[in-house]
Structure 1
Amino acid sequence: MKPHNPLDRRTFVKLSALAATAAVLPAAAGAAEAYKLDPLPYAFDALAPHIDAKTMEIHHGKHHAAYIKNLNDALAKDAKLAEKSLADLVADLPSISDEAARTTIRNNGGGHWNHDFFWKILTPADKSGKPSGDLAKAIDEAFGSYDEFKNAFGAAAAKRFGSGWAWLISQNGKLKIVSTANQDNPLMKGIVPDSDLGTPIIGLDVWEHAYYLNYQNKRPDYVAAWWNVVNWEEAGKRFGAK
């Protein structure tokens, strides 16, 4: 029988204590955590038939994941940029002097921010409904009625040339519809024209990967179906927090 080695036990206890202590200590000052892909707040098929499960799987698990990987790779090369919040990062792109880094973060930081926003502004059709409260009043004041707002927003989404987004924003206390190219968004000072800057309330992704499996080239049909899964409760919270 092998004799008991007290040193082994002492070492084990010591290492276990160190591991337990490390688990509860905060990260070192200035240390940046890599961004990660959060799970969707609903099942992949929860938005069907308006947005199908396969599109959601590819859109979330491939496209959004790629933006996060590319963003993390870029931030790993610059500790100061890695310390910024995602919103601050995309809002202050002109401060990034390196053009290649600025372009990478614009595309992939924008892609991460936009998609994280997008998933939260969607909900199953039985929970969608219509805007209410202060947001509903503001929509009526700005556009005349909810139907007129939908028409104007749908036109902005349908007419966006190539890939991009349509947004309802709050700008200086008033609602406005704007459209941005690629992964740009209304937070991007110095990138998006001042007239299109504001606080996003809802946003619609009109890149082809967001709808092509189900709608092919019929973007207006996708836009029309999308109204069935807008999370107006979340939009109301964003409007109230502007």
Structure 2
Amino acid sequence: MLKLTRAALSRPRFASTLTLSAAAIHTLPKLDYAYDALEPHISGEIMTLHHTKHHQTYVNGLNAAEEAYAKTETAKERIQSQAALKFNGGGHINHSLFWKNLAPTSEGGGKLQDGPLKQAIERDFGSLEELKKQLNSTTAAIQGSGWGWLGYNQTTKKLEVITTSNQDPLLSHTPIIGIDIWEHAFYLQYKNVKPDYLNAIWSVVNFNEAEKRLVEASK
């Protein structure tokens, strides 16, 4: 169960808002599709490892970090706990969004329909192809691991391309589409050729889910 909110993570002492009741234990979310449903764009082997191993590790780490934080007695111990809470909490939030971010081509993946999202993309980028170009180039340029995002700026009311490092969640914008550029997301299939992975993932982006996020953020 995903209980960490982006607003909570943005507070320096966000861990103090967390509880360890049975209902608050974080668990690995189920996918809405089979592991091999995104092939040939993302292999079933990658999806299986990414979901059951990497995301599960963040879930385990978050639960352990919360338990450790609950036992802290000094300010120093609480400060030391923040890194584990942020890293594993961010990993859990980002990946939970990422799975919803994708859909098999047979279920509409990669297809941008007429509607609020298409209109916003054309308004802020000129075209979907220009958005892909900007988001891909910005994401490929990340040094090390991180995420590329299409985010909605609540102040400007526009879509913008942003990146975050490591497993930091997107706090400055409402996430609309997120792309995981950690090596575990693509290396088994695309080796070190990031552009090939970034080009391929658009074929399984769940634009319907992205539009729902945009509509909600725009209210």
Q: TM-score if structure 1 supplies the norm length?
A: 0.75
Tell me if the contact between 2:41 and 2:203 (Cα under 8 Å) persists in the aligned partners: yes
Query: 2:195 aligned with 1:220, yes or no?
Result: yes
Root mean square deviation of aligned Cα:
2.1
8 Å CA contact 1:163–1:207 kept in 2: the answer is yes
Alignment partners' CA distance in 1, 2:69 and 2:140: 38
Q: Secondary structure at the match of 1:150?
A: helix
Distance 1:140 1:35 in 2: 38
1:58 to 2:63 alignment: no
Letter in 2 for 1:225: A
Does the aligned pair in 1 maintain the 2:68–2:81 contact within 8 Å?
A: no
Output the CA distance in 2 between the equivalents of 1:122 and 1:166.
15
Deviations 1:87-114 (A, max 9, x none): xxxxxxxxx9822211001110000000
2:121 aligned residue = 139
The CA distance in 2 between the partners of 1:69 and 1:182, in whole Å, is 18
Percent of matched pairs sharing the same residue: 44
Matched, 1:182 2:175: no
* Alpha-carbon distance change, 136 to 43 in structure 1, aligned in 2, over 3 angstroms: same
What residue is the counterpart of 1:232 in the other structure?
207
Matched, 1:158 2:140: yes
8 Å CA contact retained: 1:37, 1:68:
yes
Task: Report the CA distance between 1:204 and its aligned residue.
Answer: 0.2
Q: What TM-score results when the alignment is normalised by the length of structure 2?
A: 0.83
Q: Where in structure 2 are there 5+ consecutive unaligned residues?
A: 1-18
2:81 maps to 1:101: yes
| Gap change, CA 1:97 and 1:137, over 3 Å in 2 | farther
User: Quick check: which has more Rg, 1 or 2?
Assistant: 1
Q: Give how far 1:131 is off.
A: 4.9
Aligned residue runs from structure 1 range 197-208, under 5 A? 197-208=172-183
CA distance in 2, matches of 1:133, 1:152: 21
**How much does 1:212 deviate?**
0.4
Please tell me the residue identity of whatever aligns with 2:84: T
Q: Which amino acid aligns with 1:178?
A: I
SS of residue in 2 equivalent to 1:200: strand
Q: Is the 8 A contact 2:20 2:67 kept in 1?
A: no
Q: What is the aligned partner in structure 2 of residue 87 from structure 1?
A: none
- 2:149–2:161 Cα contact (<8 Å) kept: yes
Number of the residue aligned with 1:49: 40
The CA deviation at 1:30 is 7.5
C-alpha displacement of 1:227: 0.4
1:174-229 Cα shifts (integer Å, max 9, x gaps): 11000111001222xxxxxxxxx110000000000000000000010000000000
Q: Which runs of 4+ in 1 moved over 4 A?
A: none
CA distance in 2: counterparts of 1:35 and 1:232, whole angstroms = 27
2:152–2:173 contact (8 Å) kept in structure 1: yes
Q: Residue 147 of structure 2 aligns to a residue in which SS? A: strand
Gap runs ≥5 in structure 1: 1-28, 81-95, 188-196
Q: How many residues align?
A: 192
What does residue 31 of structure 1 align with?
A: 21
